[in-house]
Structure 1
């Protein structure tokens, strides 16, 4: 998954403004205590990050 696809999924699921805020501020234990932005900077695959976000926010399977 490309980062642009990941960002589009975030914006679709949470709205553009909230997605940016979550990516910047919400710490995910599944990402080693990183935010989405920190995980992307660290080189974690966007698909892995998306799964962690979906798990943390209970995104329904059909939108994962």
Structure 2
């Protein structure tokens, strides 16, 4: 997943204003108690950040990838 794809999913799945605020303010235990933005700035891969954000918000797998059915879910590893 590229940074561009991460931000597109944030906007589509969470809403542009609300999603952007969550990435700056919501501290995620799955990211060593960092926000999504802090984790990205620290070099964490966007797909790991996306999974941690979705896990924290209890977003079902079926809704994590937005409306684009061609988009494939990146592996969790």
TM-score band, normalised by shorter chain: over 0.9
TM-score, normalised to structure 1, is: 0.94
Unaligned runs of 5+ in 1: none
What is the match of residue 51 of structure 1?
A: 51
TM-score, normalised to structure 2, is: 0.79
Let me know the Cα RMSD of the aligned residues.
0.7
Give runs of aligned pairs for residues 14-29 of structure 1, distance below 5 A: 14-29=14-29
Structure 1 runs of 4+ with >4 Å offset:
none
Q: 1:61: Cα distance to partner?
A: 1.1
Q: 1:23: Cα distance to partner?
A: 0.7
What is the match of residue 9 of structure 1?
A: 9
What is the match of residue 38 of structure 1?
A: 38
How many residue pairs match? The answer is 64
Q: 1:62: Cα distance to partner?
A: 1.2
Higher normalized helix content (fraction of residues): 1
